[in-house]
Structure 1
Amino acid sequence: MDFKKIENIFLLAFVFLNVYLLVSYINRAGMQYANSPAEQINIIREMRDMGIQIPGNLSDEKQNIYYMQANSNNLIQDNVNSLENQAGSVTSDGTLYTSILSEPIEIEGDPSEGVTDEQLSKLSAFVNSSAILFGDQYEFLRYDNEGNRFIFSQVVGDTPVGDGTSEISFYYGRSDGEIISYQQTYAGPMQQQGDSVEVISAKEAVEFLFQSNELRSNTVISTPILTYQRTLALEDLSIYGPVWLIPITESSESRVLRVNAKDRTIVSDPTESNDAIPEPIIDSGDEPDEEEDTESDQS
Structure 2
Amino acid sequence: MNFKKIELIFFIAFIVLDIFLFTSYMQKDDLVESTVNTFSNNTTDSIMKSIKNDQISYSSLSTKKSSGYYLASPVKNTLRNEAARLHDVLWSYNDQKLTVSFDNSVKLKNVKNPQTTLNILTKDKTRVLYGEDYVYSKSLSTKNVVVYTQKIRKLPVYATNGQIRFNIKNGYVLNYSQSYLSNVQVLKEQKPIISQKRALIWLYQYNKLVNNSTVKWVHLAYTRLLTVNGSVIYIPTWVLAVESNSSGSIQYRRINAFTGAFMEQN
Name the TM-score, length of structure 1 as normaliser.
0.69
Structure 1 SS opposite 2:45: helix
Which of 30, 39, 59 matches 1:55?
Answer: 59
Measured after TM superposition, the shift of residue 147 of structure 1 is: 9.1
Q: What is aligned with 1:29? A: none
How is 1:65-214 mapped onto 2 (pairs within 5 angstroms)?
65-91=68-94, 93=95, 95-107=96-108, 118-130=113-125, 131-144=127-140, 148-173=144-169, 176-214=170-208
Paired AA for residue 194 in structure 1: K
Deviations 1:252-274 (A, max 9, x none): 1123111111222221222xxxx
Q: Would you say 1:239 and 2:233 are equivalent positions?
A: yes
Q: Distance in 1 between matches of 2:145 and 2:139?
A: 6
> Which letter does structure 1 place at the counterpart of 2:146?
F
Question: Does the C-alpha gap of structure 1 residues 122 and 44 become closer, same or farther in structure 2, counting only changes over 3 Å?
Answer: farther
Deviation per residue, 1:7-64 (Å, 9 max, x gap) = xxxxxxxxxxxxxxxxxxxxxxxxxxx93223323322322233222022x2111111
* Partner residue in 2 for 1:38: 42
Q: Secondary structure at the match of 2:187?
A: strand
**Do the aligned residues in 2 keep the contact of 1:146 with 1:254 (CA within 8 Å)?**
no
8 Å CA contact retained: 1:143, 1:150: no
Unaligned runs of 5+ in 1: 1-33, 111-115, 271-299
What is the aligned-residue RMSD (CA, Å)?
A: 2.3
For residues 66-116 of structure 1, what are the alpha-carbon distances to aligned partners after superposition, in whole Å with 9 as ceiling and x for unaligned? 11121232210111111123211001x4x1011112333444777xxxxx5
SS at match of 1:213: coil
Q: Structure 1 CA distance, aligned partners of 2:218 and 2:186?
A: 23
Q: Tell me what 2:263 maps to.
A: 267
**Letter of the structure 1 residue corresponding to residue 192 of structure 2:** E
**Quick check: 1:68–1:240 contact (8 Å CA) kept in 2?**
yes
- Of 37-46 and 218-227, deviating more is 37-46
Query: Take 1:150 and 1:143, find their aligned partners in 2: how far apart are those partners?
Result: 10
SS of aligned partner of 1:90? strand
State the 1:135 CA deviation: 0.7
Spell out, residue by residue over 1:195-239, the C-alpha distance to the aligned partner (whole angstroms, 9 max, x if none). Answer: 111121111111111121111122121221111122232353222
1:156 shift after superposition: 0.9
8 A Cα contact 2:110 2:117, kept in partner: no
Opposite residue 38 of structure 1, the aligned amino acid is N
Report the secondary structure of 1:223's partner residue: strand
**C-alpha contact 1:61 1:202 (8 A) present in aligned 2:** yes
SS across alignment from 1:153:
strand
C-alpha distance in 2, partners of 1:255/1:87? Answer: 34
Task: Tell me the TM-score normalised to structure 2 length.
Answer: 0.77
Q: What is the aligned residue count?
A: 226
- Deviations 1:155-181 (CA, angstroms, capped at 9, x unpaired): 1110112111111111233xx233312
Structure with bigger gyration radius = 1
- Name the CA shift for 1:248/1:150 in 2 (closer, same or farther; >3 Å): farther
Whichever residue aligns with residue 157 of structure 1, its letter is R
